[in-house]
Amino acid sequence: MYVAVKGGERAIENAHRLLAEQRRGDPAVPELTLAQIENQLGLAVDRVMAEGSLYDRELAALAVRQAQGDLVEAVFLLRAFRTTLPRLAASRPVDTAAMRLRRRISAVFKDLPGGQVLGPTYDYTHRLLDFSLAQPTRADTPGPRRGAETAEPGTAAGHSPKVAELLAREGLIEPEVADDDAPVGDLTRDPLCFPAGRDLRLQALARGDEGFLLGLAYSTQRGYGKTHPFAGEIRMGAVAVEIVPEELGFAITVGEITLTECEMINQFKGSATEPAQFTRGYGLCFGQGERKAMAMALVDRALKGAALGEDSGGAPAADQEFVLMHADNVEAQGFVQHLKLPHHVDFQAELGLVRSLRAAASAGTEAEAEP
């Protein structure tokens, strides 16, 4: 138990001053600008927006700078800021089928309508440190692009049909049906109760810690749960966000955001009531976050296991309460780090108890040894 303490005011003030100096670093080195962070550390900004659950590139860049690049701390800063703002609207569900694609790949079909475009990816890089990047004076232009490999008139850049929809047309995959009369659960407004619906699970996963979800996703592949996934489709690009303001009564576009989406396609043998068909796991996150979206899709599918009558054998990734209660890194870091706060009184009580137990034990031993 944490007991309130007083004092330390000057020490805390000086610690904050020291922190500010450390954040600034060597004054001889030019200060980073938010635009530099937004542009050149864009994937850090994306991760902070996804887990901070707030899309605002400039604020996320500020958080990264303020936290000296500690992304979990930056996520915390963004979450704290969002609590200061009123919620003015909820958007209409974004249409990812209409995404303006910057990347679109499928691991299940070689040739598919719209084709495959790699976009800006670390896949196929050699993961060798590029020492030329250590020389900032070198021209930053990577040279002209070579022409496209295929001359096929590109539809990917326009609208490409979703891979899952191709399978759905033949009834080979479970349908995802909208029920827009159902209320949409919001874990920022109501505490999470179990069992949680898919809407709340997806919200929790979308803002969940990437590392935690990645580990859980990996565990499903190693045998803790049976989901047999294929990466049906991964897409990244811009979608328009529409809201319906009361004063207008019709939908208007307020802006565009970048999203990454992953649809996993999983085996399902069928059951007494369901014919054999593929099942689906879904991942969607703010910004460019493919690893996160893939991990989310794997965990989403694992969490659907119970509803599909699968025996997960107690796999952690299939346990709603285990996954959803521990995925949030702001909550997790808060409870882990609260141990740093003064627990003096608590510990004194424990200390007294251990001493008295030892005294009692040694008195007992002496008493036994006496006769």
Partner 1 sequence: MDATRQEPPSTRTTERQAWLAELALAPASALEAAWGALADQPGWRHLRQPELGLAMVRGRAGGTGQAFNLGEMTITRTTVELAEGTIGHGHVAGRNPRHAELVALFDALLQQPARQADLVARVIAPLAAARAAAVRTEQAATEATRVTFFTMVRGE
CB of 159 to partner 1, least distance (A): 10
Question: For residue 297, which of 230, 246, 348, 239 has the smallest C-alpha distance?
Answer: 230
Question: How many of the other CB atoms lie within 10 Å of CB of 135?
Answer: 8
Give every CB contact of residue 47 below 8 A, 6+ residues apart in sequence. 71, 210, 287, 289, 292
Task: Dump the DSSP string for 60-79.
Answer: HHHHHHHTTT-HHHHHHHHH
What is the C-alpha to C-alpha distance for residues 265 and 116, in angstroms, rounded to an integer?
A: 17
- Between 112 and 343, CB nearer to partner 1: 112
CB of 98 to partner 1, least distance (A): 6
- Between 7 and 144, CB nearer to partner 1: 144
- Between 225 and 281, CB nearer to partner 1: 281
Restricting to residues 16-55, name those near partner 1 by CB under 8 A.
Answer: 49-50, 53-55
Tokens of 47: 């991760």
CB of 62 to partner 1, least distance (A): 11
Do 53 and 82 meet the contact criterion of CB atoms below 8 Å apart? Answer: yes
Restricting to residues 85-144, name those near partner 1 by CB under 8 A.
Answer: 85-98, 100-103, 110, 115-119
CB of 271 to partner 1, least distance (A): 20
For 165, the enclosing helix (H) or strand (E) is helix 163-169
What is the C-alpha to C-alpha distance for residues 56 and 283, in angstroms, rounded to an integer?
A: 20
Question: For residue 325, which of 191, 226, 184 has the smallest C-alpha distance?
Answer: 191
- 176 makes contact with partner 1 (CB under 8 A): yes
Which residue among 71, 166, 167, 200 contacts partner 1 (CB under 8 A)? 200
Which residue among 248, 272, 339, 369 contacts partner 1 (CB under 8 A)? 248
Question: For residue 101, which of 161, 26, 158 has the smallest C-alpha distance?
Answer: 158
- Between 225 and 289, CB nearer to partner 1: 289
Restricting to residues 209-228, name those near partner 1 by CB under 8 A.
Answer: none
Question: For residue 327, which of 303, 351, 352 has the smallest C-alpha distance?
Answer: 303
Selected range binding partner 1 among 5-13, 33-41, 67-75, 150-158, rule: CB under 8 A: 150-158
Restricting to residues 270-329, name those near partner 1 by CB under 8 A.
Answer: 280, 282, 284-286
Which residue among 247, 366, 368, 370 contacts partner 1 (CB under 8 A)? 247
- Between 224 and 242, CB nearer to partner 1: 242
Question: For residue 276, which of 267, 285, 284 has the smallest C-alpha distance?
Answer: 267
Task: Dump the DSSP string for 288-304.
Answer: S-HHHHHHHHHHHHHHT
CB of 12 to partner 1, least distance (A): 31
- Between 158 and 364, CB nearer to partner 1: 158
Q: How many residues bind partner 1 (CB under 8 A)?
A: 91
CB of 261 to partner 1, least distance (A): 7
Which residue among 156, 216, 217, 324 contacts partner 1 (CB under 8 A)? 156
Helix (H, G, I), strand (E, B) or coil at 261: strand
